[in-house]
């Protein structure tokens, strides 16, 4: 066991410092309560009406950023957000199609659509925290987690951003069934840093920091 470094190499030649990180794991039965808590925490930037339509993984992503941001009381609103949410909207789409078959067009709402896109989580994280930097969803499929690192590396290497939020979210089990799987998310705040003894494999290092452990 070696101590996890807060320096990570996002891509070749691009090093960043992880200044805050958090991990969230939430069983499916606890998600309605999370929706209510986030509505209370963000009454003006999100509110109950917006959160009602949110994909469950977006809720967990916002909660992970909220917990990590507690360690950064002076964070500026100029940061960007890169989110890699696995199969966003997949469960909502499955439920909506089943309801459409049963009740027809008047039995479903179109409002779930903008909340089920690749960029939805990044956009709502930015909206929740009043961020003015760029926001983008990347990857979206199992095995594409490193796409978040590469996207953040391109942004930070440009020298225009003081920092970026990196967010990953997915289900503990990739299945359409609503029961049994927990939602999981990791959020990390990174800032540009000079090259140093960065972690050779940044994803495990970030996960260890988010869990408060070691690599």
CATH number of the domain encompassing residue 76: 3.40.47.10
**3-class SS at 27?**
strand
- pLDDT attached to residue 180: 58
pLDDT tens for each residue of 37-84: 999 999 999 988 888 888 899 999 999 999 999 988 777 899 999 999
Give the model's pLDDT for residue 128. 95
State the pTM of this model.
0.88
Domain count across the chain: 1
Instruction: Decide if 1 is inside a domain.
Output: no
Distance separating alpha carbons of residues 195 and 212, to the nearest angstrom: 24
In a domain, 64, yes or no: yes
Asked if the structure places residue 2 within a domain, the reply is no
Task: Tell me: pLDDT of 98 over 90.
Answer: no
Q: State which residues form the domain around 63.
A: 7-211
């Amino acid at each position: 066991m070696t101590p996890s470094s807060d320096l990570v190499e996002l891509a070749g030649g691009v090093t960043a410092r992880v200044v805050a990180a958090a991990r969230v794991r939430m069983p499916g039965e606890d998600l309605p309560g999370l929706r209510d808590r986030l509505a209370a925490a963000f009454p003006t930037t999100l509110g109950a009406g917006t959160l009602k339509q949110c994909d469950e993984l977006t809720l967990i992503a916002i909660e992970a950023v909220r917990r990590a941001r507690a360690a950064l009381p002076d964070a500026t609103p100029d940061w960007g957000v890169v989110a890699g949410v696995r199969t966003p909207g997949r469960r909502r789409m499955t439920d909506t199609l089943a309801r459409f078959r049963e009740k027809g067009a008047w039995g479903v709402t179109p409002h779930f659509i903008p909340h089920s896109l690749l960029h939805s989580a990044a956009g709502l994280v930015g909206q929740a925290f009043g961020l003015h930097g760029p926001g983008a969803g990347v990857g979206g499929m199992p095995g594409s987690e490193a796409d978040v690192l590469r996207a953040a590396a391109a942004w930070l290497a440009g020298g225009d951003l003081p920092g970026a939020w990196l967010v990953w979210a997915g289900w503990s089990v990739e299945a359409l069934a609503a029961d049994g799987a927990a939602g999981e998310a990791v959020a990390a705040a990174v800032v540009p840093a000079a090259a140093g003894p960065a972690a050779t494999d940044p994803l495990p290092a970030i996960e260890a920091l988010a869990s408060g452990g070691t690599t």
